[in-house]
């Protein structure tokens, strides 16, 4: 005779099934909610295949408000005041900034320069997300190559991501001419490579160099390329060191044949040497290449004020309206575009020049270093001769350059999913 379970026994059998379903649905909902909020994209790293020891990764979620329409030029826009969401990090929370850029610590009385956000015309930049940036850099190397301006961009990127990394999971090493910031959890590195002329020069020593005794080898990147090759994302920059004087001592061909070149002619020859290396060495399927355009100087305030004897000292507001300073050489800009346009390999221009032209307020001025030392009280009292209107305070303008780089990488990531 067949017996039927009592109501209590039915509940006893069904309860574990219902409870299991509840937990399963709850887990799925938790995953989906967190993926939607961009907070869970890296947590599945603990799930990996024992067979090949490869981490199973959850794709980055690029939300609708992070998509930039192709018709929008992110390099054209205006600076808007934002003291709610900016700066993206605090000077005191990032231990990797050199004294040259820590303007608050060096005594700058205002912090307004930290609260300006770049707003492109017709679209919005996606908010910088450190987790997404690190996920895009997983198992990769990002290298910034250039002079001390480019070092500021490197330090900015390190500061933008380091706050979300667990203590002990990241480190920085100085292996001249490189600095290497490693993030072990993501097997990623953010690097800086000192090469003020891109091509070889007698100024290639990372610490012992001078702009006054320049000698450039216009036809070679041989020493540099050994450390560039195989890097996944390369961001080049070279400008200010070429502009110290209208002429530069250089060699082309025979290393013994030193002669004086017009600086813009020498720049083209050097850029063509670099371009030849790009064509012969870059794998477009695996590597991305960017070139950061000229970082503006604000050495003469008569250009925006009509005065004669001043510079960027004591400036606390951006320039309003159209502006292009004489510190940004249009011939150099034209040469750069011409050489890059002839390349078969895709090199993206990070056109930071115009947007940075407005930021006369963002320089280190008298709150930085000269020859490795902070300015003395006497030197600070003479801003006409000692204000640095070339380098930038951090947090500050270089953070925006990295926001633009991040935005471009995010769009490219989305299109290649």
202 and 214 Cβ atoms separated by less than 8 Å: yes
Cα distances (Å, whole numbers) of residue 324 to 34, 124, 137, 384, 387: 45, 24, 35, 21, 20
The contacts of residue 30 (CB under 8 Å, 6+ apart) are: 40
- Rounded Cα distance between 17 and 131, Å, is 37
DSSP letters along 99-156, please? TTT-TTTTT-S--GGGSEEEEETTS-PPPP-HHHHHHHTTT-EEEEEESHHHHHHHHH
1's CB contacts (< 8 A; 6+ apart) are none
Are 389 and 361 spatial neighbours (Cβ–Cβ below 8 Å)? no
Burial class (CB in 10 A: 0-12, 13-18, 19+), 348: middle
Is residue 112 within 8 A of residue 359, CB to CB? The reply is no
Put the strands of the sheet holding 347-350 in their side by side order.
170-175, 178-183, 188-194, 141-146, 233-236, 288-292, 347-350
Report the number of secondary-structure helices (H) and strands (E) in the chain.
11, 17
| 3-state DSSP helix/strand/coil % of the chain, to nearest 5 | 35, 20, 45
- List all residues 6 or more positions away from 263 whose beta carbon is below 8 Å from its beta carbon: 242, 243, 245, 246, 247, 248
Cα dist from 372 to 97, 166, 208, whole Å: 14, 31, 11
Q: Which stretches within 144-262 are classed as H helix?
A: 148-162, 222-228
Do residues 218 and 270 touch, judged by C-beta distance below 8 A? yes
* Sequence-separated (6 or more) residues with CB below 8 Å from residue 398: 152, 153, 155, 156, 392
The structure tokens 């947090």 sit at 395
Active site residues: 148, 388, 391
């Amino acid at each position: 005779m067949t017996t039927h379970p009592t109501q209590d026994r039915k509940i006893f059998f069904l309860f574990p099934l219902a409870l299991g379903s509840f937990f399963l649905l709850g887990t799925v909902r938790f995953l989906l909610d967190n993926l939607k909020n961009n907070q869970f994209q890296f947590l599945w790293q603990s799930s990996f295949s024992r067979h090949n020891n490869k981490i199973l990764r959850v794709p980055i979620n690029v939300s609708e408000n992070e998509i930039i329409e192709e018709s929008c030029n992110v390099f054209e826009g205006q600076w808007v005041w934002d003291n709610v969401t900016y700066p993206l990090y605090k000077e005191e929370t990032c231990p990797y900034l050199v004294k040259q850029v820590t303007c608050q610590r060096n005594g700058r009385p205002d912090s307004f320069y930290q609260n300006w956000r770049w707003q492109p015309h017709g679209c919005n930049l996606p908010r910088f997300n450190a987790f997404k940036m690190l996920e895009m850099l997983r198992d990769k190397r990002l290298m910034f190559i250039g002079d001390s301006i480019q070092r500021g961009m490197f330090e900015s990127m390190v500061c933008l991501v380091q706050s979300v990394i667990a203590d002990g999971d990241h480190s920085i090493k100085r292996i001249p001419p490189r600095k290497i910031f490693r993030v072990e959890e993501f097997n990623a590195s953010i690097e800086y490579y000192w090469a003020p002329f891109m091509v070889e020069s007698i100024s290639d020593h990372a610490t012992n160099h001078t702009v006054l005794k320049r000698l450039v080898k216009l036809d070679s990147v041989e020493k540099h390329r050994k450390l560039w090759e195989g890097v996944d994302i390369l961001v080049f920059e070279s400008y200010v060191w070429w502009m110290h004087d209208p002429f530069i001592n250089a060699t082309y061909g025979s290393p013994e044949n030193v002669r004086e070149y017009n600086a813009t002619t020498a720049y083209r020859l050097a850029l063509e040497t670099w371009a030849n290396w790009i064509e012969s060495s870059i794998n477009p399927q695996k590597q991305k290449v960017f070139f950061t355009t000229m970082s503006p100087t604000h050495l003469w305030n008569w250009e925006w004020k009509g005065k004669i004897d001043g510079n960027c000292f004591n400036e606390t507001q951006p320039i309003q309206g159209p502006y292009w300073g004489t510190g940004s050489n249009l011939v150099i800009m034209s040469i750069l575009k011409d050489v890059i346009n002839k390349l078969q390999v895709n090199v993206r221009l990070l056109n930071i020049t115009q947007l940075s032209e407005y930021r006369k307020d963002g320089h280190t001025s008298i709150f930085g270093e000269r020859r490795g030392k902070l300015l003395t009280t006497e030197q600070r009292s003479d801003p006409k001769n000692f204000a640095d209107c070339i380098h930038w305070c951090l947090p500050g303008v270089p953070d925006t350059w990295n926001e633009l780089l991040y935005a471009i990488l995010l769009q490219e990531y989305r299109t290649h999913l």
